[in-house]
Structure 1
Amino acid sequence: MGKEYTAKSFKSGNSVAIRIPAALGVEPDREWIVTVEDGELHFRRKPEARERIDVSGFAGKAPGIMLAPREDFEERPSTIAARKGDRGA
């Protein structure tokens, strides 16, 4: 194992905090996942969230481009019936 340090817990508002010695190289402003196993605290870095791209503002920005028809759902039975009803008229 590595070098061992002693840290003391203290009250901070309605929480209990533990100062981590700078010698351990923990970066500030980072989120951690804390688990308790057999009375021991285990810390793991929380994975950084992937940045998402907002595409909502792109719709209609490229004139002349035809959108592909949606084929991820079936047509409603009422729509099919209405279309068949128009043929008979």
Structure 2
Amino acid sequence: MPAALGIEPDREWTVVMDDDRIVIEPMEKPKRKFNIAKVAGSASTLRYIAPESRLFEPRPSTNEEIKRN
């Protein structure tokens, strides 16, 4: 197919005769599925974060907005 038609390589297309025209349409791509089997157990060395490590200092912009109100 000529590149001038705007056809992307490595994609499936359907060609249909409609009246006296040739219509080229892209086929729908299959939806990607998440494969949990590839991920399960891959992060076995991770540990939970201690509660004291989860504390954050408030942002300066947030403090200024609270003071104004």
Rg larger for: 1
Of structures 1 and 2, the one scoring higher in RCO (CA 8 A, sep 6+) is 2
User: In which range does the TM-score fall when normalised by the shorter chain?
Assistant: 0.3 to 0.5
TM-score normalised by the chain length of structure 2: 0.39
Higher helix fraction: Structure 1 or Structure 2?
A: 2
Higher strand fraction: Structure 1 or Structure 2?
A: 1
